[in-house]
């Protein structure tokens, strides 16, 4: 439930931030032409964000990364979900991994725009997703090996199962 | 108050999801025991909860802590979640290997 509640609130800021990213371009010519890029990128968010501050969480008009919460929640739910042949665990884990990695890239492109805590959450979500993916993959490999063994040599498989029990 | 809770847990105990892996192959999967363990924990029996599935308590801790962390936003929250989650994964692996070696995969 928490990811469903978290998303709509945090999805609004994405659209705004995407709309704002193109805007700094017209400002560049005003700031005395050939200076290094960083001075351009950092000031505009601080000037433009305050009107939209009602959506953001940070003090300086910084927003949370859009998928950080979803990534973290999915990454953690991936382990309890691994029961069904590891398929759901794999799906959840991969989604958490992709969302977390995407948000980390977004933050690194424009660190001043997003809150650091949401960056940490995205990173944690990515790592949890990786761990869950690896566990689920291991389990799926075991299942495939067992099925392959059962098809290739049923008698040996029966003995193996009895041996394990 | 105690009796309705108790009967609810009993009712839950009779309505657990069955593991498709175990139904097909007759062997426990790495997640088997989690539901029994959670039920044992709810009825207050920590030791048998640990015996059913050792990773339950840290797993529940991670889930609850994540909910609180997303509301309150601790500074160390993300780091702690990562560490405990990795610990849960290690516990699950060790538990499954231990089960294989001690022939508990009924």
- CA distance linking residue B85 with residue B59, whole number of Å: 7
Q: Is the separation of the CB atoms in A164 and B103 below 8 Å?
A: yes
pLDDT digits (tens, 9 = 90+) for B72-92: 888 888 889 999 999 999 999
The whole-number average pLDDT for the span A14-37 is 48
Of B19, B59, B89, the CB nearest to A131: B89
Chain-chain contact of A161 with B25 (C-beta, under 8 angstroms): yes
pLDDT at B94: 92
Residue A9 has pLDDT above 50, yes or no: no
Q: Is B93 touching A (CB cutoff 8 A)?
A: yes
pLDDT digits (tens, 9 = 90+) for A92-144: 999 999 999 999 998 898 888 888 888 888 889 999 999 999 988 988 888 88
Q: Is B30 touching A (CB cutoff 8 A)?
A: yes
Across the A:B interface, residue pairs with CB atoms under 8 Å apart total: 86
Mean pLDDT (chain A, rounded): 71
Of A2, A85, A117, the CB nearest to B21: A85
ipTM value for the complex:
0.80
pLDDT at A34: 52
Nearest CA in chain B to A163: B103
Residue A82 has pLDDT above 60, yes or no: yes
The whole-number average pLDDT for the span A33-43 is 48
Q: Is A129 touching B (CB cutoff 8 A)?
A: no
Q: Is A121 touching B (CB cutoff 8 A)?
A: yes
Q: Is residue B106 part of a domain?
A: no
Domain count, chain B: 1
Residue A86 has pLDDT above 70, yes or no: yes
pLDDT at B87: 93
Residues of B in contact with A121 (CB under 8 A): 70, 77-78
Q: Is residue B17 part of a domain?
A: yes
pLDDT band at A56 (very low <50, low <70, confident <90, very high): very low
Q: Which of B33, B37, B65, B78 to mutate to test the interface with A (most CBs of A within 10 A)?
A: B78
Question: By three-state DSSP, how is residue A33 classified?
Answer: coil
pLDDT at B13: 79
- CA distance linking residue B30 with residue A157, whole number of Å: 20
Residue A145 is inside which H or E element, if any? helix A116-152
pLDDT band at B3 (very low <50, low <70, confident <90, very high): low
pLDDT band at A3 (very low <50, low <70, confident <90, very high): very low
**Cα–Cα distances in angstroms (integers) from residue A10 to residues A60, B44, B79, in the given order:** 17, 38, 22
How many angstroms from the chain centroid is the CA of residue A81?
18
The whole-number average pLDDT for the span A71-80 is 87
- CA distance linking residue A100 with residue A75, whole number of Å: 9
Containing structural domain, residue B55 = 2-101
- CA Rg, chain A, in Å? 23
């Amino acid at each position: 439930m928490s990811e469903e509640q978290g998303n709509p609130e945090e999805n609004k800021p994405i659209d705004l931030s995407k709309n704002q990213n193109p805007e700094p371009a017209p400002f560049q010519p005003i700031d005395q032409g050939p200076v290094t890029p960083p001075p351009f990128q950092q000031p505009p968010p601080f000037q433009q964000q305050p009107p939209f501050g009602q959506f953001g969480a940070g003090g300086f008009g910084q927003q949370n990364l859009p998928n950080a919460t979803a990534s973290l929640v999915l990454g953690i739910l991936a382990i309890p979900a691994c029961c069904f042949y590891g398929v759901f665990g794999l799906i959840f884990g991969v989604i958490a991994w992709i969302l977390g990695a995407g948000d980390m890239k977004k933050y690194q492109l424009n660190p001043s725009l997003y809150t650091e805590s949401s960056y940490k959450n995205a990173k944690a979500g990515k790592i949890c997703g990786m761990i869950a993916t690896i566990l689920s993959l291991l389990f799926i490999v075991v299942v495939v090996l067992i099925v392959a063994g059962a098809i290739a040599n049923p008698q040996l498989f029966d003995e193996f199962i009895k041996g394990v029990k | 108050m105690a009796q309705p809770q108790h009967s609810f847990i009993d009712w839950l105990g009779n309505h657990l999801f069955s593991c498709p892996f175990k139904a097909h192959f007759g062997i426990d999967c790495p997640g088997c025991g989690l539901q029994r363990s959670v039920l044992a924990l709810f009825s207050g029996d920590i030791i048998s909860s640990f015996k059913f599935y050792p990773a339950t308590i840290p797993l529940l801790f991670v889930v609850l802590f994540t909910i609180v962390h997303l509301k309150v936003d601790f500074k160390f929250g993300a780091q702690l979640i990562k560490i405990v989650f990795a610990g849960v994964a290690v516990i699950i692996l060790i538990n499954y290997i231990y089960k294989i070696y001690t022939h508990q995969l009924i």
